[in-house]
Chains A and B, each alone.
Chain A
């Protein structure tokens, strides 16, 4: 792992002291070995708006660990200006973006930009995004996603959102923020624990476990309306929800017949079906990327290990073998790998298995990793961990090279869930 000697601190000023407004701050602690040098010039037009958009684009690209920002020397020009490719090549920029900000007829802001390949001396395309004045950062994230995809060949995740739980002052807050930790909003406040949030594939809902009824109960919460429905409140404990890739079903864990077992249920709580049959613990179900099977944790072999079963039940296949504590399986959205937490010599660490070769790689050097969550492009994994006795979130690239830390000044952050692509 290449360490950036100059630690980049993007600690944003707190807009308010209220917890609901408390922002995650992001610290980059590792970056890719071969970062693409790119320059983003300032956009002409509304100065303040331009500043918001270009700062967002630059921060996104730098934070990804895949790009190195080349100084734009305060240059300002729009997407239609003639480009002196030779100049930019000398400055070391392989790519260059220029654009403009204009107010559209309905009073909203329009951000236009174009991306250039300075080596080949060609335009790589461009786009225009219209947003309200308060959503300018969203336009910046869209532009960063465009640049990321053109230059890396993979879809960007800057426009995605994350969910996580903050514990502070005796309260549990289920919060939603942009992928850079900004724009935090509280979806649920409770004096009882909230765990295991998971995003519906359309990004409109969260399923989670709340202890507000003095026991674990599974809810589905519509984010825009705040409407909540109880999906499972059976006798015993109800926990570990996971959405099917088509968003129609949830795999859940119930103890209504004794120990924890895996069931599937329709997203409205109807159509309950049992999936696993064991005398021990079966929990932490997650659908495979193609929706045909479920990965889960079970102690049926004497120690907790990851297993796989068809969605209709039946034959169970053991997936992890090394060590005596492998839990929290999370298949990557591209179906190629499986992230999980492995206890090695008393340390709980993030591990990733290549599902084709079954090779396992430990990706973290921390002690208390929990709750991995893949970005929708499968490139980064968000985990909960601990630094200085405080819960923080950490994002690690699936090759282990790039690391970022997201923390919140006012409390413990845990239970991260990375949302789907912007839709």
Chain B
């Protein structure tokens, strides 16, 4: 069950970070470790980042910076815990019709490479279907699969496999700049 909890916890943590201010002291060990040590979090108002995408897509404090949807073994349904995340992306894409997304499905390393490619495709398709049901235009989305070929976690245990059963959302701005 650990495998299911890790991505869930990660996303819960990230979600918490994006909606609540950092506590003055104690708690939030993740934030204090990753900070620069000055106690000052740099904030840029609006604009685009180095990838050419609006900050609201990439700022770690924005929900839209969360791009990964995790799946159970041999499964491809988008779990309830990711419905809000998918809805947030759908809202952005319907409001910004010039933006495109590439949905990349991934699987763990076990089993046939080609079957895994199809399983990753099914995961990307599931996310695509959720987005189109919420009004995103078909031509804004391409769903592809990387199968087991590009593991985010190169390990060979349950934790690594859970991290690799995933669909990622990549953005491209109307000017062609972005993540794919």
Contacts and interface: CB of A to CB of B under 8 A. Distances in A.
* Residue of B112, B120, B150 with most chain A CB atoms under a 10 A cut-off: B112
Nearest to B115: A327
Interface string B91-130: 0000000000010100000111111011111100100000
A335 interface: no
* Residue of B110, B111, B113 with most chain A CB atoms under a 10 A cut-off: B113
Contacts of A327: 111-112, 114-115
B145 A216 contact: yes
Given A195-B114, A236-B121, A211 B145 contact: no
B121 A214 contact: no
Contacts of A348: 110-111
B180 to A, nearest CB: 6
Contacts of A415: 113
Nearest to B113: A195
Interface stretch (A2-10, A85-93, A94-102, A254-262): A254-262
A338 interface: no
Q: How large is the interface on B (under 10, 10 to 19, 20 to 34, 35 or more residues)?
A: 20 to 34
Interface string B150-166: 10000010000000000
Contacts of B147: 195, 216
B111 A325 contact: yes
Contacts of A193: 146, 149-150
A328 interface: yes
Contact of B113 (A214, A281, A304, A370): A370
Q: How large is the interface on A (under 10, 10 to 19, 20 to 34, 35 or more residues)?
A: 35 or more
A160 interface: no
Interface in A291-315: 297, 304
Given A260-B121, A328-B114, A195 B142 contact: no
Main secondary structure on chain B at its contact with chain A?
mixed
Contacts of A253: 114, 118
A405 to B, nearest CB: 20
B117 A328 contact: no
A283 B113 contact: no
Nearest to B156: A389
Given A193-B150, A216-B145, A260-B118, A255 B125 contact: yes
A284 B122 contact: no
A235 interface: yes
B146 A211 contact: yes
Contacts of B115: 281, 283-284, 297, 304, 327-328
Interface string A43-85: 0000000000000000000000000000000000000000000
B107 to A, nearest CB: 12
Contacts of A240: 114, 117
A214 B114 CA distance: 16
A339 interface: no
Contacts of A255: 118, 121, 125, 143-145
Contact of B111 (A195, A211, A235, A343): A343
A214 B156 CA distance: 24
Contacts of B104: 215
Interface of A: 193, 195-196, 209, 211, 214-216, 235-237, 239-240, 253, 255, 258-260, 280-284, 297, 304, 325, 327-328, 341, 343, 348, 368, 370-371, 389, 415
10 contacts: A196-B113, A216-B117, A216-B147, A236-B121, A237-B144, A240-B114, A258-B125, A283-B118, A297-B112, A371-B113
Given A193-B146, A304-B112, 4 more contacts: A215-B104, A236-B121, A283-B114, A328-B115
Interface of B: 102, 104, 110-115, 117-122, 125, 142-147, 149-150, 156, 180
Closest 3 CB pairs of A and B: A260-B118, A193-B149, A215-B144
